[in-house]
Amino acid sequence: MNENEISSIIIGCAMEVHTRLGPGLLESAYQKCLLYELEKIGFLVEQELTRFIHQLVLTN
């Protein structure tokens, strides 16, 4: 899978979650449901990771 395909799947899941739950909930509710949906289709998901940017280079 390339980056565009992955992005498309993630955006589709996010839209599905928002459609099912509707507007007005806390961000954490959408986050947990999106995590569940992505894991359900086989994605390995990590939450709230800290990333540092140094001289325009993304590092772990």
pTM score of the predicted model: 0.78
Q: What percent of the chain has pLDDT over 90?
A: 77
Predicted local distance difference test score (pLDDT) of residue 40: 97
Domain locations in the chain? 3-59
* pLDDT tens profile 1-18: 899 999 999 999 999 999
Closest CA to 36 of 47, 26, 25: 47
d(CA 5, CA 57): 24
For 7, the 3-state DSSP assignment is: helix
